[in-house]
Amino acid sequence: MSDDCIFCKIISGAIPSKKIYEDKDVIAFHDINPAAKVHFLIVPKLHVESLQSCDATHQQLLGKILLLAPKLATEQGLKGFKTIINTGREGGQEVFHLHVHVLGG
Ligand code: 5GP
Ligand code: ZN
């Protein structure tokens, strides 16, 4: 948990979100500014800044997040989708809590 992190606040419930999935490790919610008909984010509950800050200890969590993408996309009615992970300021990352974008439709 990072005090000034918007996604940590969504995870704690301090900021509301349109949640589509939650378990002990992960949360998924609709992007506030959708770039497609369906656009949601899969976010680990652990505060990790970006893919760049991940190491072997995050391997299982990363695998879990990627496997959730097709499952949740199907539940959202998508037959195909794009996944995007922006990493670092120069990679277009704006929220420094790791997340996977899933877009389609
Ligand atoms: P990034 O550029 O860091 O990969 O993407 C951050 C994403 O988070 C953006 O698509 C932005 O619309 C979304 N976002 C930022 N703040 C909030 C928020 O408070 N709630 C939700 N649901 N999405 C947010
Ligand atoms: Zn965070």
Q: Which residues surround ligand 2, an ion (CB under 5 A)?
A: 2, 5, 7-8, 47, 97
Which ligand 1 atom is nearest residue 30's CA?
22
Task: Yes or no: say if 105 and 79 are a contact pair by the CB < 8 Å rule.
Answer: no
Which ligand 1 atom is nearest residue 96's CA?
3
pTM of the complete model beyond 0.95 = yes
* Structural domains present in the chain: 6-104 (3.30.428.10)
The pLDDT score that the predictor gives to residue 70 is: 98
Ligand 1 within 6 A of CB of 90: no
Ligand 1 within 6 A of CB of 17: yes
pLDDT along the chain (105 residues), means of 10: 90 97 98 98 98 98 98 98 98 98 97
Q: State the number of CA atoms in the 13 A half-sphere of 23 facing the CB.
A: 8
Ligand 1 within 6 A of CB of 95: yes
The pLDDT score that the predictor gives to residue 37 is: 98
The pLDDT score that the predictor gives to residue 24 is: 98
Ligand 1 within 6 A of CB of 1: no
The pLDDT score that the predictor gives to residue 16 is: 98
Residue 94 Cα, ligand 1 centroid: separation in angstroms?
7
What span, in angstroms and rounded, lies between the C-alpha atoms of 84 and 15? 23
The pLDDT score that the predictor gives to residue 3 is: 77
